[in-house]
Amino acid sequence: MTLDKLKIGKSGKITSVGGEGALRLRFLDMGLIPHTVVRMQKTAPSGDPIQILIRGYELTLRLEEASKIEIEELSE
């Protein structure tokens, strides 16, 4: 499953980070690394962008970017 498919209020663990070159490095610099837990906070009224909670801070991503992050949904 990819990060853009995660429902509001649910959490997931990053399994892999896609993208190429500068985009992938940007993801890694923002803390989007494998085995990190993320929580979907909210989406914009139009559905894009999304806001996630990761490592204690809020991060906003476009759906196109979030679709490159593979996650495993966690049961709560």
Give the pLDDT of residue 7: 94
Give the pLDDT of residue 1: 93
Reply yes or no on domain 3-74 having CATH 2.30.30.90: yes
- pTM confidence score: 0.87
State how far Cα 38 lies from the chain centre. Answer: 6
pLDDT in tens, 15-66: 999 988 999 999 999 999 999 999 999 999 988 899 999 999 999 999 999 9
Instruction: Give the residue-averaged pLDDT of 72-76.
Output: 85
Give the pLDDT of residue 76: 67
Cα 43 from Cα 63, distance rounded (Å)? 10
Give the pLDDT of residue 75: 82
CA 15 → CA 2, 4, 43, 44, distances in Å? Answer: 9, 14, 22, 25
Cα 6 from Cα 13, distance rounded (Å)? 11
- The dihedral over CA atoms of 40, 31, 28, 33, expressed in degrees to the nearest 10, equals -70
